Amino acid sequence: MRKHILAALAALILLPFIASAQNGRFRIGKWVEIHNAILTELNRSYVDTLPLSRMESAAAHAMLEALDPYTVYIPEEEREDMDMVLNKVYGGIGAIIAKPDVDGNVIINEPYENSPAALAGLRCGDEILTIDGVSTHGLTSAESSERMRGEPGTTVVFRVKRIHKGPSWKAGDIMEIKIVRKRIHLPDVEYAGMLEDGTTGYLLLSGFTEGAAEAVKSSFLRLRDQGMKKFVLDLRGNGGGRLNEAVDIVSLFVPRGSIVVTSKGRVAGSEYEYKTSKQPCDLTMPLVVLVDGGSASASEIVSGALQDYDRATIIGTRTYGKGLVQSIRPLPYDGQLKVTTAKYYTPSGRCVQAIDYAKRGEDGSVSPIPDSLTHAFTTAHGRTVRDGGGITPDHIVKPKRYSRLAYALVLGGIVDQYALKYAQEHASIPPLKDFHFTDYDDFVAFAKEKEFDYRSGAMAIFDQLKAELKEDGLEEVASEQLAALGAVLEMDKERFLRLQKDEILPFIEEEIAVRYYYQRGGVLMNMRYDTQLQQALTLPLINIEQ
């Protein structure tokens, strides 16, 4: 009798779950049937030929957008581009190109250090006249880039007009250059070196692709051999990548067998603990981890774990808040589905996800989890940390704020275009420690001829205010006041460029440095003006020996 009662109770308990599963299967079947019926009817009745490829892509993307921004459909033709995004890998010569003049030729804008392009002698400013016999004159930058890419081991032939004198050519010479394509993997460690104090090591990590942890390890050991006494790991702007690389980076600094992150999904048995499996490199050296609003996913796993173990001092601003794990699933016809399969939790139990995509407003909008609904957790030494919105640093240090004009010049490509022009006109620059850009008049003359939104932030708000007043029918009522305020805020392009010289100069110097000393040159130049880093080095660190 007891067995029958238990069986009956079990059935009652399971009944809602069985009904829910059956309801889910019914709704999916119903949706598929409706979808097929719509396509069949459109194919039979629509007035024009159906653009099936576009409809297929639009339907898939629209369906997945209802879930979260990270669950996406990857058709076969986009897999190579996705591989570049996820792994920073492609087959090619290793150079960024530009086309300043729509009717002109393609220009080498930036060869990567030690890439096939750099080893073949291509320099910033060189003109690419043809690619495998095809003129670049009528090609877009994207079309030219596509022709330069290809399977590693294959050869691509360029006709190049040299911009500066070289070992065996004169400026203006036209040469044929054959380059064997290679597997180009953009490095995650953009720079690793000692700071000026001679005891602080600094490493800028821009991603977590395959091999990132090993690169961090080798750089750390090299710096320690050089006398490093404190290590700064810069994760600002690092949007994440492979979870296993994040785990291996944490394993460099905490005892073997430590939990780094736990993932929990909806499917039974999907909970998994990721522990360090390797011997650490160093358990006592003071660590600083720099983060900001662009530090996400794997960056939050690293900074969250090191914070939970009180192993590092986290400095900067609150991180992005992406606590979702994605997996790649194969689809028919060589497509792929990148799907969110779990949420991850730091060693203390925190989930850093800032937005609950399952809870949407009636209009489909989502909002960050308010601080009032977050929960408190404790670190290894009993410090309080919270969930629900990224990693909050131990010390809040805000970056320098820039004017709207500076952002317009950088994001609009004006500074980049000028750096290319500068590289074409100057065969070399002094060593970076001695280089200072002094021809600001030339930059102003260049920039003021370009089309970009050079309004100040105040002027942009003023223009919005006028539009709102016009919309409300109040423009005439406030016309005198508006005219007076507009006269104060109005500023011509050249005057504003000169007024903001001090904040624009660092951006120019950084872009120029990249053209002569590659990405590491840009990092070194940026560190000259990095007030956030400079302030971080003066702050007290967490005591790891409590």
Which sequence positions are flagged as catalytic?
A: 297, 308, 322
Coil/strand/helix, residue 124: coil
Longest dimension (CA), the chain: 100
Secondary structure tally for the chain: helices H, strands E: 16, 21
Tokens 């370009």, located at residue: 450
DSSP symbol at 166: -
Dihedral sign computed on CA atoms, order 88, 89, 90, 93:
positive
Candidates 105, 101, 155, 163; CA nearest to 134 is 105
Cα dist from 417 to 171, 460, 515, whole Å: 21, 25, 11
Three state DSSP letters for 225-273: HCCCCEEEEECCCCCCECHHHHHHHHCCCCCCCCEEEEEECCCCCCCEE
DSSP symbol at 158: E
DSSP secondary structure string for all residues of 422-462: HHHH-S----GGG-----HHHHHHHHTTS------HHHHHH
Rounded CA separation 541/312 (Å): 8
Contact 396, 488 (CB under 8 A): no
